[in-house]
Amino acid sequence: MFCEESSLICAQMKSEESVRVGGFCKAHTLVNMLRWSAFLVILALQTVMIEAELNEDCITTSHQIGQCRLVKNCEYVLNILRNPNQTPEELYFIDHNKCGSTTANPRPLPLICCPLFYNVEKCGISKISTRVFGGTETIYGEIPWAGVIVYKINKKRSSVNCGCTLINSRWVITAAHCYSNVPSSWKIHSVRFSEYNTKQQSPCTFSNNVRRCRVEYEVNELIVHPSYQRKSMDMQHDIALISTKENIKFSDYVIPICLPFDDKIRELRIDKQSFTVTGWGQTEKENEAGLQRHVTIPGRNNSVCDEAFSYLNIKLTEQQICAGGESGQDSCRGDSGGSLTVQLGLVNYLVGIVSFGPQECGTANHPGIYTNVMQYLDWIEDIFNE
């Protein structure tokens, strides 16, 4: 059975490079042969296939929109197979996402539910070592997915007033109110990464004899969630996507965050979980505004925010996250649209977007409100797959 399945999958790959890199069709060592034979047995036998046709729509075990495809036509799966150090989650994905087989060939070839949109490889890997009001000044490049939005106020003036988060080479995510609730004369012009101090005129910073420069990309399109209402007090659906005119180049200082597709993130308990929020906004010392800072804040039960904002008749839904509420530790004005993240192992995931908070930032027992990104993954996928 191993030899038969091996030849079938190799036939799909049709690439000497893929065979060589993957190492499961031509095992050069006994270790590789045993490893890949075990893998192929799992791939071939362990789960019952749900019959589906080629290119039929499907949903992966990680709740992503996909299509039933041949392995050779699924870049996501090919990346897993080419990697000699698959994680248990990756092996689980391949094992549990087969969706039938095709009879278009002399021998049936297995189909797999291939996600149409997925996290960038090696996303969410950061140099973060400590855990922006009252927070810790961020080391240059420490949070490489964090960016800012640049507005054109008039022909001569521009301003930075919101944060954003990089999710792939063409898209960033931010708060809807960063577009809808600003003066009508302000136009979103670009997004900027590798930023340290928004008040600094020079685009470059010298540190330890190394020159590092901010990078800026013009905006191509902005899509606000259709259910967001500009005048709503509870700021439901406060989420928007921005695409750039050209691809954003990744570097040590510009790396996308991982979106929370994995079940381990979706099942995460918010209450008492530690999150990191970052921004360039106001602090307790006005002369520090413009410097990137980050702080660790605890997740709260939504009922805590319901009570804190009861004077405004605001009641949170599952589309929102309540976090913070410790004196002097909070996001603040100018941090809107920025990221609320959680780190599991070495990987960071985007779970929230800074939406709104108390009038006085960092007020004890008065947490901030964040848009729950996990509840909008279907909307994000729909936009990307259009």
Annotated catalytic sites, by residue? Answer: 177, 238, 336
Please give the Cα distance from 174 to 295 (Å, whole number). Answer: 19
Q: Which two tokens stand for residue 59?
A: 């949903």
Q: Which residues pair with 279 in a beta bridge?
A: 293
Closest CA to 348 of 122, 137, 61, 168: 122
Report the relative pairing of strands 215-224 and 65-70 from DSSP bridges.
unpaired
Question: What single string gives the DSSP state of each residue in 121-140?
Answer: TTTTB-------BT-EEPPT
Q: Which two tokens stand for residue 136?
A: 């810790």
Q: Where are the alpha helices (DSSP H) in the chain?
A: 2-13, 16-22, 30-45, 75-82, 88-96, 177-180, 263-266, 302-308, 377-384
Neighbours of 244 (CB within 10 A): 19
Question: What single string gives the DSSP state of each residue in 306-352?
Answer: HHHTGGGT----TTEEEE--BTTBB--TT-TT-EEEEEETTEEEEEE
Whether the CB-CB separation of 22 and 82 falls below 8 Å is answered with yes
Closest CA to 135 of 23, 238, 281, 262: 281
Question: What single string gives the DSSP state of each residue in 346-370?
Answer: TEEEEEEEEEE--SSTT-TT--EEE
Closest CA to 139 of 48, 253, 233: 253
